[in-house]
Amino acid sequence: MIRLGTGRLSLKDLRAIAREAPEIELDPQCIPKLKASQAAVERILASGKPAYGINTGFGRLSQTRIADGELEELQRNIVLSHAAGTGPLLDDATVRLTLALKIESLARGYSGVRPLLVERLLELYNRRLYPRIPAKGSVGASGDLAPLAHLSLALLGIGEVQHPQPIKLAPKEGLALLNGTQVSTALALVGLFAAEDIFAGAVAAGALSVDAAAGSDTPFDARIHELRGHAAQRDVAAQYLGLLDGSEIRRSHLENDPRVQDPYSLRCQPQVMGACLDQLRHAARVLETESTAVTDNPLIIGDEILSGGNFHGEPIAIAADGLALAIAEIGALSERRIALLIDPSLSGLPPFLVEHGGVNSGFMLAQVTAAALASENKSLAHPASVDSLPTSANQEDHVSMSTFAARRLGEMAANSAGIVAIELLAAAQGIDFRAPLRTSARLQEVHALVRSKVAFYDHDRYFAPDITAIQALLEAGAFHRFVPGLFASR
């Protein structure tokens, strides 16, 4: 059971919500805060003063005063009119996170909503009544308006998924539901956790490729990385060194090896993957902070109503752009190692990692697939946060594009997972060709995990199912046990 409304949600909590759907509950201490905030809205209304979104229109229509008899209609109409999204539906993990993040934000007691509204959202989550939310239609300011409007329809008893006890919205509640960065944050968290899973697999694959190619472990010496000074680089180098420790293959070429240095895709893994790890860790800190942020507008603080811009998704957009770069580079480096392994002049292994080449094509097209996926990610990695199109008649004249910045991470992560899956297959194949020499004890476990799903490639066969099987392991987080301690969410 995860408790919301405390202002404390850990990355482990968030990963659990995304992957395991644990039950959630509201911290009882939130109820007095919610009631006090609701009472403040009522006092503001009783004063007769104009207050944005409470007794005025929205956006460019904020100067239009709304009569008391139309306040309920005002809140309902904003939900109906803003439910204008399009495209495929968000997956259940993203919707779960969105619900949990919206509950956390509202429960803090600065949004002027009733406890009843928060309780209804809790019931949607715990009953697994996941609203159907189109993925497209948000520019990430004023928050994720369109997708959050689609979420809110369920509370009103509208749409394919409905709460069994629909409610009528009180003043401020429609606006509080729609304003906020919860969809962008949820999408970015899903992308972050996928990136972490791929990263773990890529480190294991990279170490296995070093041994498959009879590479050196000297580039992972801690003294090298201490002189560079980057903590993530040091952390990753230690993982590679630990994975390779005790390898018979490495001992077999310690002396009289004519090669002086390995190609960069083997030798520079700590530098490249360390930089990627820095990006993942930075994004994790940003998103953990955002997960408990109050991001609607206006905010009720005491008896004051303060209009600001916490709904602007720029922190998420920039963090997501950094994640995109990291995901692309993880895949790009992995693809280069695949290319190395299938080239006998570099790896010393049979061409395309198969016996009887010519009759058998081996890993020839698997590397082509990896190249195609890596190239696609290069285009998808273009930063989204640098784009902005004014909306709402130029009232919202700079927007973040955080929703797309975060949403494309899922596709990019799937691409890189496919690449790393191919590398794991190729590296395992290379290790088999090194027999009777054996890799390290830890890398034997990595090899055994791959072989538990896919047999040695002794002749050409239908290749795609092999990739799918290993990609499923990657996406399930099966390789984290080989590289413990890298991520706060685990």
Q: Which residues are catalytic?
A: 52
In angstroms, how far apart are the furthest CA atoms of the chain?
89
- Are 279 and 233 in contact by the 8 Å Cβ rule? The answer is no
Query: How would you class 181 by CB atoms within 10 Å of its CB: exposed for 0-12, middle for 13-18, buried for 19 or more?
Result: buried
d(CA 451, CA 434): 16
Q: Which two tokens stand for residue 291?
A: 């997960």
- Are 78 and 178 in contact by the 8 Å Cβ rule? The answer is yes
- Positive or negative: CA dihedral 51, 54, 57, 60: positive
Q: Packing angle between helix 145-156 and helix 115-126, nearest 10 degrees?
A: 90
Q: How far is CA 209 from CA 216, 224, 349, 439, in A?
A: 11, 21, 12, 11
Q: How far is CA 216 from CA 213, 253, 383, 429, in A?
A: 9, 9, 36, 19
Q: Using H for helix, E for strand and C for coil, what is the string for the chain? A: CEEECCCCCCHHHHHHHHHHCCCEEECCCHHHHHHHHHHHHHHHHHHCCCCCCCCECCHHHCCCECCHHHHHHHHHHHHHHHCCCEEEECCHHHHHHHHHHHHHHHHCCCCCCCHHHHHHHHHHHHCCCCCCCEEECCCCCCCCHHHHHHHHHHHHCCCCCCCCCCCCCCCCHHHHHHCCCHHHHHHHHHHHHHHHHHHHHHHHHHHHHHHHCCCCCHHHCHHHHHHHCCHHHHHHHHHHHHHHCCCHHHHHCCCCCCCCCCCHHHHCHHHHHHHHHHHHHHHHHHHHHHHCCCCCCCEEECCEEECCCCCCCHHHHHHHHHHHHHHHHHHHHHHHHHHHHHCHHHHCCCHHHCCCECCECCCHHHHHHHHHHHHHHHHHCCCCCCCCCCECCCCECCCCCHHHHHHHHHHHHHHHHHHHHHHHHHHHHHHHHCCCCCCCHHHHHHHHHHHCCCCCCCCCCCCHHHHHHHHHHHHCCCCHHHCCCCCCCC
